[in-house]
């Protein structure tokens, strides 16, 4: 069960990381306006917070299930 939690955590982190990369590409795009860039920066910050939350929840769940 712990392996399943770790696999889900890795999958979610990879999903968030790919979203961050696409947002950063959007920020670097010349056609992106100032307001859009501010929104994208806020979304990147939200993704970083989300990744940290996923990690902390998964770690707590792993501890609760016990290491094997």
- Let me know how long the chain is: 68
- Residue 6: pLDDT band (50, 70, 90) is confident
* Nearest alpha carbon to residue 22 among 52, 43, 38: 43
Residues 48-59: pLDDT tens digits? 999 999 999 988
Residues 24-39: pLDDT tens digits? 999 999 999 999 999 9
pLDDT of residue 67: 62
pTM of the model: 0.80
Domain ranges of the chain: 2-65
* Nearest alpha carbon to residue 50 among 21, 2, 12: 12
- Residue 2: pLDDT band (50, 70, 90) is confident
């Amino acid at each position: 069960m712990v392996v399943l939690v770790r696999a889900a955590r890795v999958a979610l982190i990879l999903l968030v990381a790919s979203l961050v990369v696409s947002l950063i590409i959007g920020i670097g795009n010349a056609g992106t306006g100032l307001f859009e860039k501010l929104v994208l920066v806020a979304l990147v910050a939200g993704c970083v917070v989300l990744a940290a939350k996923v990690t902390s929840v998964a770690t707590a769940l792993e501890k609760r299930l016990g290491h094997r």
